[in-house]
Amino acid sequence: MEIQSHLLEHTHLKFLLKDVEKIPVRVWDDNIDASKHLAKTIALAINQKQQQGTHCVLGLATGSTPIKVYEELVRLHKEEGLSFANVYTFNLDEYFPMQPDAVQSYVYFMNDHLFNHIDIPKENIHIPDGTIDMDKIPSYCEYYEEKIQSLGGLDIQILGIGRTGHIGFNEPGSWETSKTRLVRLDNLTRQDAQNDFINQEVPYRAITMGIDTILKAKAIYIMAWGAHKASIVKVAVEDQISSTVPSTFLQTHENTHFLLDRSAAAELTRFNTPWLVGICKWNDDLITKAVIWLSEKLAKPILKLTNEDYNENSLSDLIIEEASAYQLNIRVFNRLQHTITGWPGGKPNADDSTRPERAKPAKKRVIIFSPHPDDDVISMGGTFLRLVDQGHEVHVVYQTSGNIAVHDHDALRYIEFMSDLGQETGIISDLSILDDAEKAMRKKKPGQKDTKTVLKVKGLIRKGEARAGARYVGIDDDHIHFLDMPFYETGGTKKNGLGQIDIDIVVDMISSIKPQQVYAAGDLADPHGTHRVCLESIFQAFDQLKKEKWMKDCWLWLYRGAWHEYPIDEIEMAVPISPEELLRKRNAIFMHQSQKDSPPFPGEDVREFWQRAEDRNREAADGFRRLGFAEYEAIEAFRRWKFDWQ
């Protein structure tokens, strides 16, 4: 579903917004709807050209952003007869040097996600060649430019945006007049690419179309999904044009459109501070956001904000409706105060009318869903400890095996341990499987997938760590569950789609416990999208179970993963963590030894998981303190997901 901001839609306000947003923006609830919309636009262009008896030239991108667009184009081809016979494609870029059969190459990516599944003639596909000799690169780049122009130029160019603000691999410092060329990659870009280069160095260079090549396209669609893109999206759309953020050059193009999901759009003025650019449709959520913003901006606790503060900061609307700033302050202060509770499972025998959780039943059955085997303790370890200490029946459910995220050297160590044990004690009857696994590990080429046995070993390593972590928190072994959801088991970062079999497993788990409380990862910024799929499986399981009587009382709380915290105005339950609990949480995270020091998939953050978790929890506590609430060591935050049938 496409979403609107809180601004009233007056024509003169639209003009005001146009001054702020220099590239037209459309925002969808999620990236799936937005990707489908773009795929439909591309399909329309292809069909139109077909009817005119001519060809369509597409500029294509790689990376995580366009994957769903390609998925939808493949579906349109397979199910609705969309033909690519008249399509020519030019990819934006390729690492240099790069062999086309390497799994990290963009040739591999494009074949895997699109070309292998559609009817495009192979000779119509163009991807910068990462294998050519250095001295031939300038003439090759000229040929690439000429080839695009000889076909009439790009009809549609699709783009993602890097955290440096790059488009293609046009890193900060690239000029508007730049053409296809060899470039050096920015450090941040190389860091972001590290997830695809497990145990290998990310190339330092790439061949990329230039800004000028991109700007010559007749239509440009640039996409961004997820909170980690929100700040650069704001800069690209709202800031001055500058070569330090090459995507700002798109502001000069007459037919560029930015497609965003809700999280990537969150920092745009129209969503973040709409009162600065127009007249708002106020509701309690927006009022809370505005008051928090004012308090942070003026570095004043909420209860000290005055009428003048509101008047002088574009928020006079708010106090017109209230008798005074003070009344508004108290209303917002109380709302936020009521989110803070040391009783995440509800406080027994207490008035619960203003508490986030119900007092009854005093002892609740609780499920904590953890997408990977460590998200439970990283994201909500303090709350997990409290729920156990306060006597609830807590079950932890690990949704996936997490078997791709173990270093080869760790797996080898365990395999050798088992071999040695087998040889020295004779208790393993057949050592040949271990021998094979050891050989496979030693022969493994960078980027190559693991054998089944090695994946099993890696999965078991994580299982053992998860058990140790949950036991440390204090739950019995029969409350620790492993689902090993099949969608995850591909041995690579590209996962299968969610199947009924995955959902059934989750349904069985929930029905066997009949919980009053379920916690799940609502963090959609995880690099491989596993959290997203795991959450979807829970939503679908709830939907399947909604007719069960006990489901009426089953509340779903979402926590964020290791990457981002909810902003304070979105938090519905804030659980304070004492200094001692924070240390215990750290120890529980330490049980996940394969993820310590330098985890195989660190994401975009150089800190270790326990450091990120602690920083994040301390920042949340400090945020509350600055607004004038009590000072806690740390806070874990949750949001309740309300189903319309509850």
Binding piece for ligand F6R, criterion CB under 6 A, among 2-10, 160-168, 266-274, 395-403: 160-168
Q: How far is the CB of 224 from ligand F6R (least distance, A)?
A: 8
The DSSP line for 358-424 is ---SSS-EEEEEESSTTHHHHHHHHHHHHHHHTT-EEEEEE-S--TTSS-HHHHHHHHHHHHHHHHH
Nearer to ligand F6R, 61 or 533 (CB): 61
261 sits near ligand F6R (criterion: CB under 6 A): no
Q: Name the residue with tokens 């990236």.
A: 31
- Look up residue 521 and give its two tokens: 């990862």
What x-and-dash track marks residues 45-64 binding ligand F6R by CB under 6 A?
----------------xxxx
Binding piece for ligand F6R, criterion CB under 6 A, among 166-174, 176-184, 400-408, 625-633: 166-174
Q: How far is the CB of 33 from ligand F6R (least distance, A)?
A: 17
Nearer to ligand F6R, 186 or 374 (CB): 186
185 sits near ligand F6R (criterion: CB under 6 A): no
Q: How far is the CB of 60 from ligand F6R (least distance, A)?
A: 8
Binding piece for ligand F6R, criterion CB under 6 A, among 154-162, 377-385, 386-394, 403-411: 154-162
Considering only residues 27, 56, 69, 167, which one is a binding residue for ligand F6R as defined by CB under 6 A? 167
| Separation CA 497–CA 97 (nearest Å) | 32
263 sits near ligand F6R (criterion: CB under 6 A): no
Considering only residues 31, 65, 248, 403, which one is a binding residue for ligand F6R as defined by CB under 6 A? 65
Listed in sequence order, the residues at least 6 apart from 98 whose beta carbon sits closer than 8 Å to its beta carbon are 104, 105, 106, 130, 131, 203
| Separation CA 106–CA 66 (nearest Å) | 13
374 sits near ligand F6R (criterion: CB under 6 A): no
**Do 444 and 408 form a contact (C-beta atoms < 8 A)?**
yes
At what angle are helices 579-590 and 609-626 packed, to 10 degrees?
160
Phi-psi region of 446 (alpha: psi -120 to 50; beta: other; left: phi over 0): beta
**What residue type is 592 in one-letter code?**
H
Considering only residues 70, 88, 90, 169, which one is a binding residue for ligand F6R as defined by CB under 6 A? 169
**Do 293 and 256 form a contact (C-beta atoms < 8 A)?**
no
Phi-psi region of 474 (alpha: psi -120 to 50; beta: other; left: phi over 0): left
| Separation CA 630–CA 471 (nearest Å) | 32
Q: How far is the CB of 84 from ligand F6R (least distance, A)?
A: 19
Size of the site for ligand F6R (CB under 6 A): 14
Binding piece for ligand F6R, criterion CB under 6 A, among 163-171, 497-505, 570-578, 627-635: 163-171
Listed in sequence order, the residues at least 6 apart from 328 whose beta carbon sits closer than 8 Å to its beta carbon are 287, 291, 310, 318, 319, 322
Binding piece for ligand F6R, criterion CB under 6 A, among 70-78, 96-104, 161-169, 344-352: 161-169
Nearer to ligand F6R, 191 or 451 (CB): 191
Considering only residues 59, 128, 130, 160, which one is a binding residue for ligand F6R as defined by CB under 6 A? 160
Considering only residues 168, 278, 529, 561, which one is a binding residue for ligand F6R as defined by CB under 6 A? 168
Catalogue the active-site residues.
171
Cis previous bond, 128, omega within 30: no
**Do 268 and 594 form a contact (C-beta atoms < 8 A)?**
no
215 sits near ligand F6R (criterion: CB under 6 A): no
Q: How far is the CB of 61 from ligand F6R (least distance, A)?
A: 4
> H helices then E strands: how many in the chain?
22, 18
Nearer to ligand F6R, 257 or 363 (CB): 257
260 sits near ligand F6R (criterion: CB under 6 A): no
**Do 523 and 564 form a contact (C-beta atoms < 8 A)?**
yes
Q: How far is the CB of 193 from ligand F6R (least distance, A)?
A: 8
Q: How far is the CB of 59 from ligand F6R (least distance, A)?
A: 10
Nearer to ligand F6R, 157 or 517 (CB): 157
**Do 612 and 420 form a contact (C-beta atoms < 8 A)?**
no
What x-and-dash track marks residues 591-610 binding ligand F6R by CB under 6 A?
--------------------
Nearer to ligand F6R, 459 or 603 (CB): 603
515 sits near ligand F6R (criterion: CB under 6 A): no
Nearer to ligand F6R, 61 or 441 (CB): 61
Residues from 86 through 145 that contact ligand F6R (CB under 6 A): 92-93
Strand order in the sheet with 156-159: 2-3, 25-28, 256-261, 219-224, 156-159, 56-60, 87-91, 125-126
Return the bridge partners of 74, or none. none
Q: Name the residue with tokens 């900061």.
A: 313
Nearer to ligand F6R, 67 or 318 (CB): 67
Nearer to ligand F6R, 62 or 339 (CB): 62
Q: How far is the CB of 189 from ligand F6R (least distance, A)?
A: 6
Binding piece for ligand F6R, criterion CB under 6 A, among 139-147, 159-167, 264-272, 501-509: 159-167
| Separation CA 397–CA 130 (nearest Å) | 44
Nearer to ligand F6R, 162 or 278 (CB): 162
Q: How far is the CB of 69 from ligand F6R (least distance, A)?
A: 11
Nearer to ligand F6R, 265 or 520 (CB): 265
Q: What are phi and psi of 633, to 5 degrees?
A: -65, -45
| Separation CA 243–CA 40 (nearest Å) | 32
- Look up residue 267 and give its two tokens: 């920092």
Strands 2-3 and 365-370: unpaired
Q: How far is CA 366 from CA 345, 388, 518, 556, in A?
A: 8, 10, 6, 10
Instruction: Return residues touching ligand F6R (CB under 6 A).
Output: 61-65, 92-93, 160-162, 166-169
